[in-house]
């Protein structure tokens, strides 16, 4: 049975949605699975559903396409669809797989889908392993450590290193790596970046203000200005 890729369209203009739905309908392996007309709607849908590909506009109110990419580093495969050529570098720096200028021709759309299929064919096993992973693996003092994701409180950036805070540790583990490097290794539903220096486990949050989060160990985590818009969408239990 052929793979089907669930697609989310994020654009503030209805004609753009209609055009993309028409393109998608011509591919048996693509399924139009959702539509968002602004960044807030998109974040809510991304938090609540599984998608394989997003078609993302750049010029949108409240949250631009570039800002959404920065806020959601562990998002589905991204194809940018825009009328503006100025943001191509930013899009590719945020791991967009293609950058299509409107109006999008059938040939260019088809080439973008081929790129996506090539990516998936080379990363399907890796993606499945990540999706099913329940632990975060890292090296400490020459040993391989596996930390259950459910035990992690938050991770703090220290330049080229990170502090890993856990409910099972008296002191944090200091490990090599960056927040961006582990974004694809942890569950994007229960973990979210709320500051350039912090990724938190949303299941361990006890209260939220406009500028801070309080964790279950009473630690207070700052919320960066550009991340504040995510607060209403955090799946806090």
pLDDT given at position 172: 92
Q: For the chain, how long is the longest CA-to-CA vector?
A: 57
Domains of the chain and any CATH numbers: 5-132 (3.40.50.2300), 135-233 (2.40.50.1020)
What mean pLDDT is reported for the chain?
87
User: What dihedral angle (degrees, nearest 10) is formed by the CA atoms of 94, 132, 198, 205?
Assistant: 130
Instruction: Reduce the DSSP state of residue 217 to 3 states and report it.
Output: coil
pLDDT given at position 183: 66
Report pLDDT digits (tens) over 34-83.
999 999 899 889 878 889 999 999 999 889 999 999 888 778 999 999 99
- Report residue 173: phi and psi, to 5°: -90, 135
By the 8 A CB rule, do 192 and 224 touch? Answer: no
Which H/E stretch holds residue 110?
A: helix 106-132
pLDDT given at position 126: 41
pTM to 2 decimals? 0.67
């Amino acid at each position: 049975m052929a793979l089907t890729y669930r697609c989310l369209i994020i654009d503030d203009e209805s004609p753009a949605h209609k055009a993309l739905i028409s393109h998608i309908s011509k591919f048996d392996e693509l399924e139009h699975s959702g539509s968002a007309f602004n960044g807030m709607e998109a974040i809510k849908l991304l938090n609540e559903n599984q998608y394989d590909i997003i078609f993302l506009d750049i010029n949108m109110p409240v949250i631009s396409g570039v800002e959404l990419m920065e806020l959601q580093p562990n998002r589905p495969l991204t194809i940018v669809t825009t009328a503006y050529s100025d943001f191509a570098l930013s899009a590719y720096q945020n791991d967009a797989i293609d950058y299509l200028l409107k109006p999008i021709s059938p040939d260019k759309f088809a080439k973008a889908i081929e790129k996506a299929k090539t990516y998936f064919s080379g990363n399907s096993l890796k993606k499945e392993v990540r999706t099913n992973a329940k632990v975060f693996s890292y090296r400490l003092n020459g040993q391989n450590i596996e930390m259950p994701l459910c035990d992690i409180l938050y991770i703090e950036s220290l330049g080229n290193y990170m502090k890993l805070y856990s409910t099972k540790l008296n002191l944090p583990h200091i490990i090599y790596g960056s927040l961006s490097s582990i974004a694809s290794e942890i569950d994007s539903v229960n973990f979210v970046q709320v500051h350039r220096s912090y990724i938190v486990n949303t299941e361990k949050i006890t209260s939220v203000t406009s500028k801070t989060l309080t964790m279950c160990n009473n630690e207070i985590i700052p919320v960066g200005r550009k991340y504040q818009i995510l607060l209403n969408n955090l799946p806090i239990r």
